[in-house]
Amino acid sequence: MIIYGVALLAACLLTGLYLGELLGQLLGVQANVGGVGLAMLLLVMAGGSPRMRSLTTGASGEGVKFWSAMYIPIVVAMAASQNVVAAASGGMLAVLAGVLAVVVSFALVPVLSRIGPQSPPLPPLEQEP
């Protein structure tokens, strides 16, 4: 059943967000610390667990795959609801601070990627909506 996969996804997200809130309170931070990341870990573990097979394969798996295919449209909707005017009119200070942070961070990606075991590039992508 497709809903089983969707329910599994929901269970992972809610559990992760709850743990992230608890972690935030524990650290005394007014933010959710890694809730989504923890939820992803839970889903990865569910996907690899033989006992969860009935929830992650067949029609149930399609329930998760549907949302993963909806991801880009959701991101497009997210982009359309950003406060772009504020970003453009925040003045030179806001623009420069944002630009400098991004440029330096981009430059550090290849430097830090050299740490630890390397992973091979993914095979070329077939473009498809």
Partner 1 sequence: METLRAVIQANGLVVAFLVVGAAVWLSYWASRHLTRGRIHGSAIAIILGLLAAYAAGLASGGTRGVVDIGLLAGIGLMGGGMMRDFGIVSTAFGVQLSELRQAGIVGVVSILAGVLVSFIAGALIALAFGYTDAESITTIGAGAVTYIVGPVTGTAIGASSDVIALAVAAGVVKSILVMIGTPLVARHIGLNNPQSAMVFGGLMGTTSGVAGGLAATDPRLVPYGAMTATFYTGVGCLLGPSVLYFIVRALV
Which of the residues 29 through 88 are near partner 1 (CB under 8 A)? 29-37, 39-41, 43-45, 47-48, 56, 61, 64-65, 67-68, 70-88
Smallest gap from Cβ 97 to partner 1, in A, equals 4
Rule CB under 8 A: say whether 9 interacts with partner 1: yes
Nearer to partner 1, 34 or 58 (CB): 34
Residue among 70, 50, 49 nearest 6 (CA): 70
Q: Encoding tokens for residue 72?
A: 């880009």
125 binds partner 1 (CB under 8 A): yes
Through-space distance between the first and last CA atoms of the chain, rounded to whole angstroms: 25
Q: For 116, phi and psi rounded to 5 degrees?
A: 75, -175
HSE-CB at 65 with a 13 A cutoff on CA atoms is 9
3 binds partner 1 (CB under 8 A): no
Number of residues that bind partner 1 (CB under 8 A): 87
